[in-house]
Amino acid sequence: MSSSVVGGIVGAKIKRREDVRILTGTGRYIDDAGDRSTLTAHFVRSTVPHGRITELNVDAARELEGVVAVITGPDMAAFTNPLALGAPIPGLNSATYPALAVDTVRYVGEPVALVVASDRYVAEDAAGLIEIDYDILDPVVSSTDALAEGAVQLFEEVPGNVVYRGGFEEGDVEKAFAEADHVLVDHIDQHRWGCAPMEGRGGVATYDRSTGQLTYEASTQTSHLLRLLVSGFINQPIHLMRVITSDIGGSFGLKFSIYREDVALCAAAKHLGASLKWVEDRNENLTAGGAARDETVTIEAAVRADGTILGLKADMVMNSGAYPIMPPAPVVTNIAGYMLPGPYRVPAYRFKATAVATNKASYISLRGPWAVETLVRERMMDLIAKKVGISPVEVRQRNLVPVTEQPIISGGGFTMEGVTAAETFEKLVSMIDFDAFRAEQKAALAEGRLLGLGVGTFYEPAPGTPEFWGKIGFPFGAEPVRLRIEPDGHVTAFTTQIPHGQGHETTLAQVVAEEMGVAYEDVRIVFGDTDATVFTMIGTGGSKAGMMATGGAMVAAREVKERVITIAAAMLEANPDDLEIKDSVISVKGAPASQVPLAQLAMGCYMAPGMMPQGLDLNLEATAIYDGENGGWGQGSHACWVEIDQETGKISIPRYLVVEDCGKIINPDVVDGQVIGGVAMGLGGMLLEHSAYGDDGQYLAGTFMDYLMPSAPEVPEIEIVHMEFETATMVGSRGVGEGGTVLAPAALLNAVDDAFAQVGGTRITQTPLTPTRVLEALGVIEKD
């Protein structure tokens, strides 16, 4: 059965309701929370990458006027449990750690003490009075350092700094490589970069001594998981803990993790019986909030002389930073591993992964955390094309699996079905005049201008399938929605999604309105509050909302609607099959005179059940789950045009084209926004952003003057073409938030490779593509 959400409200270009408060400045972000009794909490952080604390003197700070408390690591350890954020995953060796450092610090920015004061100015004054001495230990910065023989070990319980080793094999890899006409090898050393939402982390923790209840208003993507973990770490009975969220100023994966700051803040609020607010500043966010990518991959391809792939091997090493955090390393490496063969026919495949501990902030999730697989695979496709003498277009066409030839078993060994990467690629190719570009490229070169064009394609779990997540070792999960028809016929739906820019208040209201037959304006979406919403482990993340939350809203609406129809049928003495709900009125199809307004029916159910038809279910509230059936995939193809200034090393992007397929579009502006923002992030990550560490482990990018964010002139105009392939599942929509960021780095680097090839530049194997690195590759300046 195809999606029933067709026509009308779903799919319409409806202006987002969130925007009214966003544009008028009436939103409530985390620094807007709290009241006059709320105190400020400020973390004092390590300035060294690795060391033993030999002295921590907080006396002067405690005496400063306006300071309520200064809590040290040992103080905090007395009323919190060690943080165990690893998961019982085979091969994972995850260290536990205290909320505040007790004796050893392992990254610049690690929280050492917590100051509680009347306001932030006083708190920072007090922080300046705290004296800390360290016995400096050798830092371990790169993955190579961490794995070196005799390397300094970060944790006693993590031998050789190896947090995780794993891998798998599908098909006969040895045979594939033995029979190959060519074996190609490539390598990428991707730098560390981060989420950097415009609003950092933060929360307001309030302990009510009279009830023993702790309320944590948090800037989080995942309120129920936060509640579950924090309550355990601070010995707060979970039923006496409530997490609420309001507007969230972006996240991109950052606020999926549960941080030691969350634990320390909630523990301190409980300990002091107070209301405490922590809002991190930009320096804290960039230094201590964690960052992502920071991985190397070596890939080998066995191919026939015509460019057909026979087999792949990949070896990934992830720099996990010092302290393990959500998601566990193997979840990221496994997704990368299983997605790496991509939408191509790959008969044999071997993947190995290693995650290591280093003296950096934690490795966290960032929009398509597995994206490096697409980067190495799509660059390898171009290498294969070059090797066998065909175009980048042709090599992909020869290896892609058209949707009509599915289901088949993917290179990763799971069923691939409904994947339209090949179709998006054909559409992309049809929109590009390659001959004209080659002529332009040649003419430009004659004028000393260097142009390049790169393409790429991919698919992603959006949300994936139960079988796929079984291989990853992570639950697929169902999506619950609680839905209530109010006494006046309005509808309130409680989602477990926690929107932070995705517009779920609008899109889910569109879905519910369409299903129920009520006006869009009559539907309200409630989110975040753990007292109101149904438990799920993941809130918003993993491109789940498009399909799963939509499905949850549909099944909940259908369940309640069925009850309404049954009641109305009795009231109208009609056959339920003949009834419909339109504009909040239940009527007999074709005989609109026989009708009852939804508001009248609802009021009757709530206020005068004795006067309603008897023996029927008059409960107008239901909680239903959508299990996602066999899930689904998101996919797309990109083309990137670059011009490289051979004097300055600057890469500009005159044109960028996206063909995406996330299935049925619920709201076109929301989908376009996700695609454009995703591409901008992928390009920024490759060209500008770098969570850089010195060889000494010192953090070097603590401000937006060092950590360069893409601004409007750097981001190209992005052309988007939509394809809306629908599978057999009830919901025709799939996730779209991550794909732009996953594929853009590959399209960009392929374009740069293409440009470099015009002048014999050295192929880039290390990111970011800074002007210095570009000029080195072009031979304009000597390599450092």
Interface with other proteins by CB under 8 A: which residues?
Answer: 15-16, 18-29, 31-32, 119-121, 196-199, 247-252, 281-282, 500-503, 669-670, 672-673, 676-681, 703-705, 709, 711-713, 715, 717-718
Rank residues 402 and 771 by Cβ distance to other proteins and give the closer one. 771
720 three-state secondary structure: strand
Q: To the nearest whole angstrom, how small is the minimum distance from the Cβ of residue 712 to other proteins?
A: 4
Rank residues 672 and 738 by Cβ distance to other proteins and give the closer one. 672
Rank residues 373 and 689 by Cβ distance to other proteins and give the closer one. 689
Rounded CA-CA distance 33/218 in Å is 9
Burial 265-288 (b: 16+ CB within 10 A, else e): bbbbbbbbebbbbbbbeebbbbbb
Q: To the nearest whole angstrom, how small is the minimum distance from the Cβ of residue 252 to other proteins?
A: 7
Rank residues 171 and 528 by Cβ distance to other proteins and give the closer one. 528
Q: To the nearest whole angstrom, how small is the minimum distance from the Cβ of residue 20 to other proteins?
A: 7
Cis status of the peptide bond prior to 82, with omega within 30 of 0:
no
CB 589 within 8 A of CB 574: no
How do strand 621-626 and strand 479-485 relate by DSSP bridges? antiparallel
Q: To the nearest whole angstrom, how small is the minimum distance from the Cβ of residue 430 to other proteins?
A: 23
314-to-340, 373, 467, 474 alpha-carbon distances in Å: 8, 9, 22, 22
Burial 547-568 (b: 16+ CB within 10 A, else e): bbbbbbbbbbbbebbebbbbbb
Burial of residue 13, with CB atoms counted within 10 A of its CB: 0-12 exposed, 13-18 middle, 19 or more buried = exposed
Q: To the nearest whole angstrom, how small is the minimum distance from the Cβ of residue 767 to other proteins?
A: 19
Rank residues 557 and 743 by Cβ distance to other proteins and give the closer one. 743
Burial 305-333 (b: 16+ CB within 10 A, else e): eebbbbbbbbbbbbbbbbbbbbbbbbbbb
Q: To the nearest whole angstrom, how small is the minimum distance from the Cβ of residue 208 to other proteins?
A: 24
Rounded CA-CA distance 687/709 in Å is 10
Q: Two tokens at 772?
A: 């210095």
CB 459 within 8 A of CB 342: yes
Question: Residue 83 has what DSSP assignment?
Answer: B
Q: Two tokens at 210?
A: 């009279």
Q: To the nearest whole angstrom, how small is the minimum distance from the Cβ of residue 53 to other proteins?
A: 28
Rank residues 15 and 582 by Cβ distance to other proteins and give the closer one. 15
Report the candidate in 782, 759, 760 with the shortest Cα–Cα distance to residue 448.
759
Q: To the nearest whole angstrom, how small is the minimum distance from the Cβ of residue 688 to other proteins?
A: 11
Question: Residue 12 has what DSSP assignment?
Answer: S
CB 330 within 8 A of CB 367: no
Q: To the nearest whole angstrom, how small is the minimum distance from the Cβ of residue 193 to other proteins?
A: 12
Rounded CA-CA distance 722/452 in Å is 25
Q: To the nearest whole angstrom, how small is the minimum distance from the Cβ of residue 679 to other proteins?
A: 6
Rank residues 167 and 250 by Cβ distance to other proteins and give the closer one. 250
Q: Two tokens at 96?
A: 């536990």
Rank residues 541 and 678 by Cβ distance to other proteins and give the closer one. 678
CB 297 within 8 A of CB 371: no
Residues 677, 682, 684, 687, Cα dihedral to 10°: -160
Q: Is 137 left (phi over 0), alpha (psi -120 to 50) or beta?
A: beta
The partner residues of 292 in beta bridges, in order of sequence, read 193
Q: Two tokens at 84?
A: 């165990």
Q: To the nearest whole angstrom, how small is the minimum distance from the Cβ of residue 199 to other proteins?
A: 4
Rank residues 116 and 681 by Cβ distance to other proteins and give the closer one. 681
Q: To the nearest whole angstrom, how small is the minimum distance from the Cβ of residue 71 to other proteins?
A: 24
Q: To the nearest whole angstrom, how small is the minimum distance from the Cβ of residue 109 to other proteins?
A: 17
Q: To the nearest whole angstrom, how small is the minimum distance from the Cβ of residue 149 to other proteins?
A: 41
Q: To the nearest whole angstrom, how small is the minimum distance from the Cβ of residue 777 to other proteins?
A: 27
What's the residue count for the chain? 784
Amino acid at 678: G
Q: To the nearest whole angstrom, how small is the minimum distance from the Cβ of residue 154 to other proteins?
A: 31
Backbone phi, psi, residue 746, to 5°: -70, -45
Rank residues 148 and 709 by Cβ distance to other proteins and give the closer one. 709
Rank residues 444 and 715 by Cβ distance to other proteins and give the closer one. 715
Rank residues 116 and 579 by Cβ distance to other proteins and give the closer one. 116
Rank residues 19 and 562 by Cβ distance to other proteins and give the closer one. 19
Rounded CA-CA distance 408/417 in Å is 7
Rank residues 499 and 768 by Cβ distance to other proteins and give the closer one. 499
Backbone phi, psi, residue 700, to 5°: -115, 5
Rank residues 556 and 653 by Cβ distance to other proteins and give the closer one. 653
Rank residues 27 and 74 by Cβ distance to other proteins and give the closer one. 27
CB atoms closer than 10 angstroms to residue 338 = 25
Rounded to the nearest angstrom, the gap between the alpha carbon of residue 248 and the centroid of all alpha carbons in its chain is 14
Rounded CA-CA distance 739/749 in Å is 16
Rank residues 253 and 328 by Cβ distance to other proteins and give the closer one. 253
Q: Two tokens at 627?
A: 């299990």
Rank residues 410 and 674 by Cβ distance to other proteins and give the closer one. 674
Rounded CA-CA distance 28/21 in Å is 9
Rounded CA-CA distance 522/555 in Å is 18
Q: To the nearest whole angstrom, how small is the minimum distance from the Cβ of residue 553 to other proteins?
A: 20
Q: To the nearest whole angstrom, how small is the minimum distance from the Cβ of residue 116 to other proteins?
A: 17
Backbone phi, psi, residue 512, to 5°: -65, -45
- The strand order across the sheet containing 591-597 reads 579-582, 585-588, 591-597
How large is the C-alpha radius of gyration of the chain?
28
Rounded CA-CA distance 371/741 in Å is 8
